Amino acid sequence: MIDRFSLLAAVTLAVATFAAPASAVSLTGLTVQVAHEFPELGSFDFGPANYTVGTTAPLSYYGLADISVGATTFTINVFCGARCTWSPADFNGFVLFDTYSVASPFSVSINSATSYAGFDASRISFDDNTVRVNLAGLDANGLIVINVAGSVPEPRSWAMLIAGFGLVGAAMRKRSKATLAA
């Protein structure tokens, strides 16, 4: 005869096997903030400005660049021509804040549409609610597209966690019964 523990294990395994894969949280409809920090972190020469994803038009950075946030992207389009090079400084770049903690924690990666010469992953820093793109010392012109998403745990991870708690509970219960019998 099948006991409760075996039934719980079988149901958990079935749920974990057929659960849908994880997906990124869309930022559409959320209000985030964008800014430009120069010459150091925390020193703003533009913004922070509220940006409602999906409804706000791209923001212009003094006619030198457009900044926009899509459902899963943070885009910086620099088009200032030969007239600018980003000054070398501790930090000279654009920032995306999830000030209201609506989508954090962020996960980021460079989108294949990025075409900015000299730009690589070392120029991106992020934490739970901030993405920074440092352009210090780079020549101008190009497109930077950063994939940005709030992370969602996979259903399989949740199922495994719950199954683990169940196993530990069952083991503790059996152990206490064995101790009482002795």
What digits encode the pLDDT tens for the residues 74-105?
999 998 877 678 888 889 999 998 876 766 56
Q: How many domains does the chain have?
A: 2
Query: What is the CA 74 to chain-centroid distance, rounded?
Result: 11
Q: Are residues 86 and 9 in the same domain?
A: no
Q: Are residues 74 and 144 in the same domain?
A: yes
Q: Are residues 59 and 118 in the same domain?
A: yes
pTM of the full predicted structure? 0.68
Secondary structure class of 10 (helix, strand, coil): helix
- Separation CA 72–CA 47 (nearest Å): 21
pLDDT, residue 21, reads 46
- Looking at the predicted structure, is the pLDDT value of residue 158 above 80? no
Secondary structure class of 152 (helix, strand, coil): coil
In a domain, 58, yes or no: yes
- Looking at the predicted structure, is the pLDDT value of residue 22 above 60? no
**Domain span including residue 166:** 4-21+154-181
Confidence tier at 1 by pLDDT (50, 70, 90)? very low
- Separation CA 4–CA 180 (nearest Å): 21
Tell me the sheet residues that pair with 49.
34
